[in-house]
Amino acid sequence: MTIAEILDEARSLSIEERKQLMKGLIDLLAEPVSPSPKNHRLRELRGLGKEIWQGIDAQTYIEQQRDEWDRGA
């Protein structure tokens, strides 16, 4: 839901409901914000997903990809 949609919904509320909404939003602002996800160093990602490539020869895979690109697939 977009902010514009939320505002449209708020317009249909009674004055008392709008006050409750505002109080709820103010209370929400007082809540601590969860920290942003930790940034990772590239080295930490080493080996991630390696099981996907088990048993696949890299050179054969590259050649298959090039063949597909040449065929326009």
Cβ atoms of 10 and 21 within 8 Å: the answer is yes
Q: What is the pTM of this model?
A: 0.43
- Give the pLDDT band (50/70/90) at residue 59: very high
How many C-beta atoms lie closer than 10 Å to residue 18's C-beta? 13
- Kindly tell me the number of DSSP H helices and DSSP E strands found in the chain: 3, 0
Residue 26: what pLDDT? 92
Mean pLDDT over residues 16-45, rounded?
88
From first CA to last CA, the distance across the chain in angstroms is 38
* Domains of the chain, residue spans: 1-32
Asked if the model's pLDDT at residue 36 lies above 80, the reply is no
Percent of the chain residues topping a pLDDT of 70: 99
Residue 39: what pLDDT? 82
Higher pLDDT, 35 or 54: 54
